[in-house]
Amino acid sequence: MLPRFTNHQSIPGTPMRSVTFLLACCLVASAHSADLSSSGASTAQPAADMSGPTHEITARALALVGSKYRFGGTSPGRGFDCSGLVDYVFHDTAAQELPRTAAEISRVGEKVDIDQLQPGDLVFFNTLRRAFSHVGIYLGGNKFIHAPRSGAKVRVDALDLAYWKKRFNGARRILSFKQPTQLANVDDRVTMYLF
């Protein structure tokens, strides 16, 4: 089942963006119960029913893999910075307005422990020598999507990479999930095709 986009009826861009979108849908659909974390540390937790807003958020975010980074950017056409990407995805799929900066977003929703992360949660990092200076969207399976920095593109990274693990500041849940139904993890074999 393909996600329903509320504000944009089609995905703009090249045929490669369409291929990326299809792979993103496969990635979200491939969630399974085995923990694929390479570090041995498990962050897999019961996830929300993936047919609702969680699925739409992760699928929409993954459809933006490869979008260019632009400081202050808030759209696919102009590019994204980290908070612009998060706000765009949540506004587009859940009609949820978020503050403009990662630090401001870190005060929205409820705090979530790393071992309780669910797809759609926001993860925060200290990348500029100040807390909550970077934000991404957790996908499941220890993976998150973000707009990393100038010169880079929107991409998926693993929380257990040394760089991100060392800089992790915390997580927040913006949307409330009522009934956890399955363990969600991202299949690394599908992820590798996104790069």
- Residue 102 phi, psi dihedral angles, 5° rounding: -60, -40
Instruction: Give how far the C-alpha of residue 114 lies from the chain's centroid of Cα atoms, to the nearest Å.
Output: 15
CB contact at 8 A, 126 and 164 = no
User: Residue 53, by phi and psi: left (phi above 0), alpha (psi -120 to 50) or beta?
Assistant: alpha
Give the number of other Cβ atoms within 10 Å of residue 121's Cβ: 28
Does 25 qualify as catalytic in the annotation?
no
- Residue 79 Rama label (left phi>0; alpha psi -120 to 50; beta): left
Catalytic: 82?
yes
Q: Which residues pair with 111 in a beta bridge?
A: 172
Separation of alpha carbons 10 and 4, rounded Å: 10
Residue 91 a catalytic site member: no
How many helices (H) and strands (E) would you count in the chain? Answer: 6, 10
Q: Which residues carry out catalysis?
A: 82, 134, 146
